[in-house]
Structure 1
Amino acid sequence: MNPQLIMDGLIAGAMIGLGAIGITLTYSILRFANFAHGEMISWGAYLALATSGLLGSLSGALFKPVGPFSFGWSLPLAILAAVALTAALALLVDVLLFGPLRRRRSAIIIMVMASFGASLALRSLLEFLFTSKPVYFSKALQIALPLGGGLRATPDQLLSLAVAALLVIAVHILLTRTAVGRSMRAVSENQQLAGVAGIDVRKVIRTVWVLGAGLACIAGVMAGLLVQIRPYMGFDLLLPLFAAAILGGIGSVPGAMLAGLIVGLAEALGVQLIGAEWRAAVAFMILVFVLLLRPQGLFGRAE
């Protein structure tokens, strides 16, 4: 077995885990599977790319690589703007689509189908605006650094792993040590009772959309930085995202990240053993086995 697949799996798993956090939070608060979440990954990557290009056109010095990395200061600055824009897009979709359906107390299947329709519309709009041609944040070549034990990774990859770890810790602290997090947990347990207790449920819902979209944006930037940017990049990650969210346990942020790493490692192993064309099948099999053997996931609670 090639030890490098461990590093490849961890890198892919970090992206999956960040995206899965948004899936698990949305489901735990709003009680429906949001198929449009994958498009937030794609939109986040493209918005960061467009903003980075705009900043670079204003000052070419922002394009010069920072230290050992393949990107300049234009990308970190663009990420801040892209996170805000992606969160605004998620809130807009909620105002125009999911909010009215919630007020009408629509059935869960209606919400799911609406999210599927939103996914198609957002993906088509993205393809119309940017075309389907793959693009890149940077085409600079990086030399993988030896890490020992046959493992190698580029500076960009190591940075992505570190950022993912810091974000998971930050979100976990937010949910467990702050008033906002306590409100989110209360709404997750019982939305009606939380409203009666004085919690602003609408504010909690907006917070969930902003948090999930922001993390999806960063996952998209990571995917674009390490692989490439395509309109279908979020759609291709959708099955692994749901597999990780369910495996980790709905509502568990550390569980989503751990499960994302497991799914990433399983996909990397599957690619080496049976071929890249079976990558999606690996995530699907994990999803099926979890639903059959432990529906509550690794850190979830049986209901």
Structure 2
Amino acid sequence: MTQRALLLAAGALVVNALIWGLSWWPFRELHSLGLHPLWATALIFVFSLACITVWRPGGWAVFTKHPLLWLLAAGAGFTNVGFNWAVTVGDVVRVVLLFYLMPAWSVLLAWAVLGEKPTRMSLLRLLLAMTGVIIVLKSPDSPWPVPKDIADWLALMGGFSFAVTNVLLRKLQYTPSEARMIAMFGGGALTASGTAWLGMTLSAVPAPLWSLSWIWLALGLGLAFLISNMALQYGAARLAASTTAIVMLTEILFASLSAVALGAAELSSRTLLGGGLIVLAAALAALAPPSK
């Protein structure tokens, strides 16, 4: 590949990371306009699924032939439910750091699902990440490093589900990409809408307040997610997996800087230290040689 092609591929990945890193703001705006993040996620992913269906209608026939794609749909669905809800109601930096425990969870899941025994380096990364999360979760008013609110729990669930999604994508790499995309966007739409409906029946999630003021914002966010997905497909197909993972870590930078600038996060010394260990573990995972 030429230098220009490499720069374009890396730039596409940065666009993907930028959109996800800044997505907390429109989700919060939608929430303030009467659209809970679960309903917003459902609407956005229904829109994206419709676009993919028009673009690649044959993907549905392939999707029905592979039962494991339903697990991929569930993993992707809970990933988006956890992340989108958490960044809407919690400290953005804290949420993103807990979410990026994904490389640590992947060590354990790859061992259980793919039969990849952890190496010494992978165990070291796991130890670094877990030390980081203990530092992040340990607050002065709590004797134990436990999640302090629903945002922490949602971030941890979202990161674990993201690891499940990545492991299943590796296991299902023989399936056509359009079938995997249908599974992921369909899972996001079904899981978010189902969770929102259940929450509404339990009076935990308010019904959406229909308004033109948030409809256009929601459609714009859906379009942004489609662009980010296309950018990811373009960049990841042209760069090494390790390079892709390193560039994707810029999402933490975009989310942190924007959240601190807009007052949606607080950078304490504990968060910086624990977050540094989590990011280091993720970077080491990205630089690790691929498994055979």
Normalised by the size of structure 1, how large is the TM-score?
0.30
Normalised by the size of structure 2, how large is the TM-score?
0.31
